[in-house]
Amino acid sequence: MKSPEPITTLVEFLTSSGARLRLFDMGRRVVRIPYDRFLRCEKNQLPYPAPLGQQAWLALLFQEPESSREPFVWFLRFPLDEQAKLSLAARDDFMHRLAERIGSRLDTANKGGWIETALADNPYSFKPREDRLAIFHARISRRLKKPASRFYDHALAYFRGELGWEQWSFVGYQGIADIAARLDQDDNERMLIDALPMLPSNPFGAICHCIENEKISSQLATALLGVTHTQLRLEAPSAAAVAASVRGVSRSRSATLRRQLIRDVLASPVAEQVEVLAAIGGRAWESLAEGSLAGAFLERLAHNREGQVFFDRCLSDLLFIPGMREPLLNALRSDHRSPALSAAVGGFFQRLGANNQ
């Protein structure tokens, strides 16, 4: 009889009992990672798709087969190598620690109730920020066909304009996240399109931070573009509002509208504010793969209000993302780059050389 193949990856171990595993990126966005894709990442066949801080930030939702028990979640982070591929040494160290705590079979371990505490004192576990947890819970509830949280109805009443636009401080963030995760329910998309121009800065920022994780329609993206244009026409546009708009439109199904909003923002001096630059580089980075946008972004980055340190940090982060190195380096090599950008690039490579010595 042929012996079973040895388990060498984390996802194989976690599904060895027949349980269902869903994986999510918790870094730049809260989005699903297909099982097969992450398995290829674990085998070092693919880089991690959206690294943040040169790490992979993961949520693993584990659901036991034929069980009425609630699914449980592990939040894990692993370092990545210079090619944005998973550090297999770190992954193996995590699995070794896990095996020491719960044994070699997940199903046997869980009968003793160990699995919920398996990550106690584990250096690879982390606790997401409260806003990220709210977004994650909203998306999971929707995916598992469970009702929204108890905060949902109150949030609906607010965004419908029933409570008064200044009454935002009583709206629970979890309810806002639930709305973003259910744009196709309760006429939520139309409700937001109508509400966006009316919202004060805090609820506007909150809903944009939530919908940055959703593939929004061109109609909702157009509404965000309108809010952005209203801001850009002001003598002193709000960097927070503009950054929120960038984040909200960053996964728009319409690449044309997404690029238009970012192009218009980069044409304004408000783009030199680090909050706006961080939103573009951190949430709307895919749009920078277009040559003209990459060049415009780098010019604004060179003039940012915090100087060389922020330029270096932002550029390093972007260059680490798979697929971004070539368009950024092409823009950096442009004969038309400004003296300020040339100086910032020189400072970046000078620091890079000093760190490599």
- Confidence at residue 112, expressed as pLDDT on a 0 to 100 scale: 45
Query: pLDDT category, 18, cuts 50, 70, 90?
Result: confident
Helix (H, G, I), strand (E, B) or coil at 353: helix
pLDDT over 80 at 344, yes or no? yes
Q: For residues 290 and 274, which has the higher predicted lDDT (pLDDT)?
A: 274
Distance (Å, rounded) from C-alpha 98 to C-alpha 119? 7
Q: Is the pLDDT of residue 121 over 70?
A: yes
With bands split at pLDDT 50, 70 and 90, how would you rate the model's confidence at 308? Answer: very high
Q: Render pLDDT for 151-175 as a digit per residue (tens, 0 to 9).
A: 999 999 999 999 999 999 999 999 9
pLDDT over threshold 70, residue 304: yes
Interval 317-331 mean pLDDT: 95
Return the structure tokens found at 213.
């994780």
- Sign of the C-alpha dihedral, residues 143, 144, 145, 146? negative
N residues, the chain: 357
- Of 3-7, 229-233, 276-280, 352-356, the range with the lowest mean pLDDT is 3-7
What mean pLDDT is predicted for residues 198-220? 98
Q: Which two tokens stand for residue 279?
A: 């939103």
Question: Which pLDDT value is given to residue 98?
Answer: 85
Q: Determine if residue 306 is left, alpha or beta; phi over 0 gives left, psi from -120 to 50 gives alpha, anything else beta.
A: alpha
* Bigger pLDDT: 293 vs 103: 293
pTM higher than 0.95, yes or no? no
CB 201 within 8 A of CB 233: no
Per-residue pLDDT, averaged over 252-263, amounts to 96
Instruction: For the chain, give the percent of residues with pLDDT over 90.
Output: 79
Residue 125 vs residues 79, 115, 169: alpha-carbon distances, Å:
12, 14, 32
pLDDT number for residue 353: 67
Mean pLDDT, the chain, whole residue set: 91
- For residue range 53-100, list pLDDT tens digits in order: 999 999 999 887 766 677 889 999 999 999 999 999 999 999 888 888
